[in-house]
């Protein structure tokens, strides 16, 4: 069983962190775009149910993205600390 170089574990953590952050940012940007679109649709006097549904979807998208990102960072940090 070979021992990994000292830099491999922090490097792996950094790469996973950057990729996870990029994915979080992409999904958050989609949630922001959806929110801006909903504000624009409100000027067209659409049904309140439709607006409320879209606002709920926006908040649910961002909240689930944030929760999954937090869990991802927690698990990645734990895995890195175990490997050190």
- Indicate the pTM of the whole model: 0.82
Whether residue 4 is predicted with pLDDT greater than 80 in this model: the reply is: no
pLDDT of residue 30: 95
Q: What is the CA radius of gyration of the chain?
A: 19
Whether residue 2 is predicted with pLDDT greater than 90 in this model: the reply is: no
pLDDT of residue 19: 96
CA-CA distance, 68 to 84, in Å (whole number)? 24
Average pLDDT, the chain: 92
CA-CA distance, 13 to 24, in Å (whole number)? 16
């Amino acid at each position: 069983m070979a021992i990994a170089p000292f830099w491999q574990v922090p490097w792996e953590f950094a790469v996973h962190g950057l990729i996870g952050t990029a994915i979080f940012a992409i999904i958050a940007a989609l949630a922001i775009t959806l929110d801006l679109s909903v504000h624009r649709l409100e000027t067209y006097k659409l049904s309140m149910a439709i607006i409320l549904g879209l606002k709920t979807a926006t908040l649910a998208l961002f909240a689930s993205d944030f929760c999954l990102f937090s869990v991802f960072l927690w698990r990645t940090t734990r895995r890195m600390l175990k490997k050190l």
